[in-house]
Amino acid sequence: MEILFLNQEDVKDTLDMTCAMEVNEDAFLQHGLAKVQMPIKSYLYFHEYNGDLRTMPAYIEDKDICGVKIVNSHPNNPKVGLPTVMGVVVLNSTNTGETLAIVEASYLTDIRTGAAGGIAAKYLARKDSEVVGIIGAGHQAHAQLLALSELFDIKEVKVTSLHMEECKEFECRLESEIDCEFTKTMNLEQICDCDILVTTTPSRNYLVEKEWVKPGTHINAIGADAKGKQEIDPSLLVHSKLVVDDIPQASHSGDINVPISEGKLEVEDIYCELGQIINGTYAGRQTDEEITIFDSTGLAIQDVATASYVYSKAKDKMIGKRVEMFF
């Protein structure tokens, strides 16, 4: 038996945002059609190190794809020169269970999460959206903006972070890829004055006040991906068209997890899952005035679908390292 090992450069050689959005939209569609098996994420918490480790298995039945992602989240990692998120996706044969590939998942996770935000905005944001506000200036903010630039004619990007230097670095990374004006500010209310708002922080106290968000805004709430995290005012969640990637998982670890646990939000307040909009069961944006929110926790189906695409392209391009396994 041979296993194909694909490192980050191999993934970058086979995956771009356009392809990631196509692959992930189909994965969400399969989820909306109830043609996947996907338990919610399981967590190990390392409180001493402000980190956690997650396992995320999934099987996309009609595509005959299965596997599991093993991934961490350690927000302090950049201080020691490591990415906040690192991981691998293990792809398995559904026929025999054998391991087919091990795919490095740091870049893959960034791109598939960015793709999810772009897909959500495709269905939920106003078509004439041109001002993007971003809270957080790391790799995920970068990926979210790239995905949005695939769909919208962006005129201005407002960005904030804990340190102004991070905002300057963000602009330097993106200015060659997106032709727009960059406004850097520490004023959160100013950031929220936009058409599409993106939050990409590990905050445990909400950052976006209901009063700051104007009618017609779409919000991609990306950062809350574990119990106790939140970025959006619970009263804003209740009074918006609230869409999640997966109701059981979001209830446990999405932006809605804290207000649900505190009784400020009910599962019944959720409009639907993203896949149910893609498959036509529910409508997306219906008026220019409604506020829409997409609560993204990151789904295992995204990981196995994206890794399977990378695996297929890598075989075609004959890249990666093959290792024989003997029993």
Same domain, 139 and 185: yes
Inform me whether the pLDDT recorded for 90 exceeds 70: yes
The whole-number pLDDT of residue 267 equals 96
Same domain, 306 and 210: no
**pLDDT tens digits for range 263-322:** 999 999 999 999 999 999 999 999 999 999 999 999 999 999 999 999 999 999 999 999
**Structural domain boundaries, residue 268:** 124-298
Q: Is 241 helix (H, G, I), strand (E, B) or coil?
A: strand
Q: What percent of the chain has pLDDT over 70?
A: 99
Strands (E) across the chain are located at: 2-6, 36-37, 42-46, 51-60, 65-73, 87-92, 99-104, 131-135, 156-160, 181-184, 196-199, 218-221, 241-244, 272-273, 292-295, 321-324
CA distance 307 to 127: 30
Number of structural domains the chain divides into? 2
User: Is 117 inside any structural domain?
Assistant: no
**pLDDT tens digits for range 147-160:** 999 999 999 999 99
Same domain, 221 and 242: yes
Same domain, 142 and 202: yes
Show which residues are catalytic. Answer: 69
User: Is 119 inside any structural domain?
Assistant: no
- Name the percent of the chain in helix, strand, coil, to the closest 5: 35, 25, 40
User: Is 116 inside any structural domain?
Assistant: no
User: Is 72 inside any structural domain?
Assistant: yes
Mean pLDDT, the chain, rounded, equals: 96
Same domain, 274 and 155: yes
The whole-number pLDDT of residue 326 equals 67
Least confident of 121-130, 171-180, 273-282: 171-180
User: Is 113 inside any structural domain?
Assistant: no
**pLDDT tens digits for range 2-53:** 999 999 999 999 999 999 999 999 999 999 999 999 999 999 999 999 999 9
- At 84, the pLDDT band (50, 70, 90 cuts) reads confident
**pLDDT tens digits for range 212-264:** 999 999 999 999 988 999 999 999 999 999 999 999 999 999 999 999 999 99
Q: What is the CATH number of the domain that holds 289?
A: 3.40.50.720
User: Is 115 inside any structural domain?
Assistant: no
Same domain, 160 and 184: yes
Inform me whether the pLDDT recorded for 327 exceeds 70: no
Same domain, 96 and 146: no
Q: What is the CATH number of the domain that holds 59?
A: 3.30.1780.10
Q: What percent of the chain has pLDDT over 90?
A: 94
